[in-house]
Amino acid sequence: MTAGSRDGTVGKALGVLDQVASFERPVRFSELLEASPFPKATLYRFLQTLTSQNMLQFDPEMQTYALGVRLVRLAHAAWTQSSLAPIAKTHVEALSRSVGETVHLAQLDNAQVLYVDKQNAVNPLPMYSQAGKVGPAYCTGVGKAMLAYLEPDEQDKVIAQQSFHKFTETTHTSAESIRIELSNIRANGYGFDREEHEPGIICVAMPILTKRGRVLGALSVTSSTSRTNLAALEKLVPQLKATANAIADDLQSWRFPDQQQSPVSRA
**Contact residues: a second copy, CB under 8 A:** 1, 3, 7-11, 13-14, 17-18, 21-26, 35, 37, 46, 49-50, 52-55, 57, 60-61, 66-83, 107-110, 114, 116, 131-134, 210, 212, 214, 256-257, 265-267
Backbone angles phi, psi at 236, to 5 degrees: -85, -5
- Are 123 and 227 a contacting pair, CB within 8 Å? no
Stretch that binds DNA, among 23-31, 97-105, 172-180, 188-196 (CB under 7 A): 23-31
Closer of 30 and 226 to DNA (Cβ): 30
Buried b (16+ CB within 10 A) or exposed e, 104-118: bbbbbeebbbbbbbb
Closer of 47 and 204 to a second copy (Cβ): 47
Cα separations (Å) of 152 from 89, 147, 189? 30, 10, 17
Residues whose CB is less than 8 angstroms from the CB of residue 52 and which lie 6 or more positions away in sequence, other chains included:
none
Q: Is 30 in the site for DNA (CB under 7 A)?
A: yes
Instruction: Give me the least distance between CB of 250 and a second copy, in Å please.
Output: 14
Q: 39 contacts which partner out of DNA, a second copy, none, CB within 5 to 8 A by kind?
A: DNA
How many CB atoms within 10 Å of residue 179? 16
Cα–Cα–Cα angle for 106, 107, 111, rounded to 5 degrees: 120
Residues whose CB is less than 8 angstroms from the CB of residue 15 and which lie 6 or more positions away in sequence, other chains included:
1, 4, 5
Instruction: Give me the least distance between CB of 213 and DNA, in Å please.
Output: 18
Q: Is 9 in the site for DNA (CB under 7 A)?
A: yes
Instruction: Give me the least distance between CB of 149 and DNA, in Å please.
Output: 23
Instruction: Give me the least distance between CB of 258 and a second copy, in Å please.
Output: 10
- Are 198 and 126 a contacting pair, CB within 8 Å? no
Closest to 102 measured CA to CA, from 147, 148, 143, 142? 142
Closer of 64 and 155 to DNA (Cβ): 64
* Cross-strand partners of 201: 224
Closest to 107 measured CA to CA, from 257, 251, 10, 237? 251
Closer of 39 and 126 to DNA (Cβ): 39
Closer of 23 and 44 to DNA (Cβ): 44
Q: 109 contacts which partner out of a second copy, DNA, none, CB within 5 to 8 A by kind?
A: a second copy
Q: 38 contacts which partner out of a second copy, DNA, none, CB within 5 to 8 A by kind?
A: DNA
Residues 40-69 that bind DNA (CB under 7 A): 40-42, 44-46, 63
* Positions that interact with DNA (CB under 7 A): 8-10, 12, 28-30, 33, 38-42, 44-46, 63
